[in-house]
Chains A and B, each alone.
Chain A
Amino acid sequence: MKLPPLLQVEALHVRYPVRKGLFGATSGYVNAVDGVSLTLERGETLGLVGESGCGKSTLGRTVLALQRPSSGQVFFRNQDLFSLPPEKLKQQRRFAQLVFQNPKACFDPRRTVGSSVRMALDIQEMLEPSERDDAVAAIFAKVGLRPEHRFRYPHELSGGQLQRIGIARALVLQPSLIVCDEPVSALDVSVQAQILNLLRDLREEFELALLFVSHNLAVVEYIADRVAVMYYGRIVEIAPRQRLFENPQHPYTQALLSAVPSMDLGRRDEPVPRLGDPPDPVHLPTGCRFRNRCPLAFERCAVSEPEAVEVAPGHSVACWAAMPAEPAPSLASASTN
């Protein structure tokens, strides 16, 4: 029998109330995650891309049980996270860790970074207390730092060094999943490459699954095995990396890819996709939520929301124009197998 996936998200919804006025009456809801189902296998890296505000960070936090969903389920290591009692949930948390975007903001400024990493072991009561300092030193070496770095304070270290420690803090608990929320966005190019390479090496060594949240498509292409494209709460396209980048089917994915500035000078005068401004997340259009920015939208898109349909093995698209069996005059049917 095939092993169940490490992480299974089913019909997940997270909605935030929007409050107005002096007494905070709820005036509407933002559906930050609006019906997301996905799976993540052991050792696999899933890239999650989308514009700011599309709900990718909320999805990442909900997977870690840092945010309660309004409905839907998250199964992690065969357990339904949101039906676990607090003590059991704490045990599960050890196996799913988070690396943050801004390494300068995620450490206690009055604590040495070594003791911040040790704190993770203390909280989870991993190892004997006498062994914990050695474990911290060992994990510092793994992420390319010297043992004496443990005794520094966050302000004494550079962004790249702090992000290594952020990774060390996640890794010291020997997790099976790390959610990386824009882990290299705050770093310079030369340091970004160091951190990406480090993540790639550690992933191999520890058989880690990564949920890699990023708005940078080139970074995701470098690190992910599979890529999911999110648009205002929904996953509109998901495919193996190579397939998504070479043969994107959803018009939103296509627009995102063609908007990335190319290093090829011959292409500098190519027209840019005109998507217009992003919608107000409280008032998304009826039917397909991408409809008002979509170059291919036709009548059907206003009537009902497209469900994700598998167009090739592992490649699902939620778009009426990309449906293989439907009348799809505008999108090349030659590109679907």
Chain B
Amino acid sequence: MLMTSPPSHAKPLLDIRALQTQFKSERGTVNAVQGVDLTIAPGEILGLVGESGSGKSVLALSILRLIQSPGTIAGGEILFDGRDVLGMSKKELTQLRGRDIGIIFQQPHGCLNPVRRIGWQVAEPLRHQGGLDRRAAWDGAIALLRSVGIPAPEEKALAYPHQLSGGQAQRVMIAIALALKPRLLIADEPTTALDVTIQAQILELLRESCRNFGTSLLLVTHDLGVVAKLADRVAVMYAGRIVEDGPVAEMLVEPQHPYARGLLRAAPRLGNAGAGRLQDIPGGIPDLSRPSPGCAFAPRCEVRRSLQLGRCLTEQPPFQTSHAGHRTRCWATDRSINPPQSVSEMSLPLEGRP
């Protein structure tokens, strides 16, 4: 059964408003995140999809204020459960990281301390933030390792990270991230470094953990299959902006934005080999240090070319909400200027899909 998204009027757990994150470089300012608005409801799984350089990881790190110099959060607001993250003191931030929001990265081995037994690494948040003593924290760590599916956790807790396989190390990372039962988990490409059989198990673990604890999940990935497996809602990011955001059932079947449609057509799928040639998206991602006044996707956009929309190159399209909980930033799908029939004619058919 599909989990339905919580109603949109529910108070969001995380509310990002007009967030801007920049990096100063010799070649000028790189606008990695350019005015992102995004919310995550309690218990919701949001898939954040985009290609490398789209700013999705920077957005994820901004939520925890883990952006380091030369990067800065240049504007906007981040509200976690109504609290202003950008105005938090060091002490409040320490509490936010780990207790309120947990994070998992792509390379588990790069995130674990190579000279500490994994049991202590899992126990650390329980001791320092959870207030448990050594003994209780160790027992807690073993229980956590068991819950993430580490076999013989009493023995494995004594192992060092290099003695773990990639899948086991990622399970340990999930155990650490879930140790304090955070209300939001951020997973940045959690399975990209793993083999497909291990990936399936880790995705299932993430989903079950989030369901059991009622944790919200921000799942950052470039893989639409991963999104299809977990997400309630999907946001597509391109060149520092969210270009479309809606319920997973709509986003994977009939997205509105030409870039979102292009992504869906470009990915080869199992069992689709007879469907003919993959449709690639010509060109590459734009230079974020030289922002264009118009839509960042316009130079690659076939819909713009065939509709000959000049506006796309000169003016940033605003969000259009097509119906509850689904919004798109695109002049071509903007029904206030284009009658609907011309849009459906121009939006290329997604063959073989209902």
Residue in B1, B196, B263, B267 whose beta carbon sits within 8 Å of that of A256 in the complex: B196
* Contact call B196/A189, Cβ cutoff below 8 A: no
A207, B325: Cα distance in complex, Å: 51
A241 within 8 A of B: yes
Q: Which residue of the partner chain A has the closest CB to B353?
A: A263
User: How many chain A residues touch the partner (CB < 8 A)?
Assistant: 43
* Contact call B228/A188, Cβ cutoff below 8 A: no
A196, B281: Cα distance in complex, Å: 12
The proximity string for B residues 209-245 relative to A, scoring 1 for CB distances below 8 Å and 0 otherwise, is: 0000000000000111110111000000000000000
* Contact call A242/B273, Cβ cutoff below 8 A: yes
* Contact call A194/B282, Cβ cutoff below 8 A: yes
Residue in B224, B229, B271, B279 whose beta carbon sits within 8 Å of that of A268 in the complex: B229
* Contact call A190/B196, Cβ cutoff below 8 A: no
A255 within 8 A of B: yes
* Contact call B196/A188, Cβ cutoff below 8 A: no
A47 CB, nearest partner CB in chain B, Å:
11
**Interface-side segment among B12-20, B75-83, B200-208:** B200-208
* Contact call B279/A193, Cβ cutoff below 8 A: yes
* Contact call A191/B200, Cβ cutoff below 8 A: no
User: How many chain B residues touch the partner (CB < 8 A)?
Assistant: 46
**Interface-side segment among A12-20, A26-34, A215-223, A322-330:** A215-223
Listed residue (B2, B282, B284) with the most chain A CB atoms within 10 angstroms of its CB: B284
B282 — which chain A residues lie within 8 A by C-beta?
Answer: 194
Helix, strand, loop or mixed for chain A's interface? helix
* Contact call B273/A264, Cβ cutoff below 8 A: no
B4 within 8 A of A: no
**Interface-side segment among A128-136, A272-280, A300-308:** A272-280
Residue in B196, B224, B278 whose beta carbon sits within 8 Å of that of A259 in the complex: B196
* Contact call B2/A268, Cβ cutoff below 8 A: yes
Listed residue (A255, A259, A261) with the most chain B CB atoms within 10 angstroms of its CB: A261
B337 within 8 A of A: no
A273 — which chain B residues lie within 8 A by C-beta?
Answer: 197, 200
Contact A193 to B266, CB < 8 A, known contacts A265-B249, A272-B200: yes
A322 CB, nearest partner CB in chain B, Å:
19
A273, B196: Cα distance in complex, Å: 10
* Contact call B266/A265, Cβ cutoff below 8 A: no
* Contact call B284/A191, Cβ cutoff below 8 A: yes
Which B243-281 residues have a C-beta within 8 angstroms of A? 248-249, 252, 262-263, 266-273, 277-281
B129 within 8 A of A: no
A51 within 8 A of B: yes
* Contact call A218/B1, Cβ cutoff below 8 A: no
* Contact call A268/B280, Cβ cutoff below 8 A: no
Q: Which residue of the partner chain B has the closest CB to A246?
A: B271
A186, B166: Cα distance in complex, Å: 18
* Contact call B270/A218, Cβ cutoff below 8 A: yes
List 16 interface pairs A-B (beta carbons < 8 Å), by A numbering: A52-B166, A161-B284, A189-B224, A189-B263, A191-B284, A193-B279, A200-B277, A216-B268, A219-B268, A241-B273, A257-B270, A260-B270, A261-B200, A272-B204, A273-B197, A278-B165
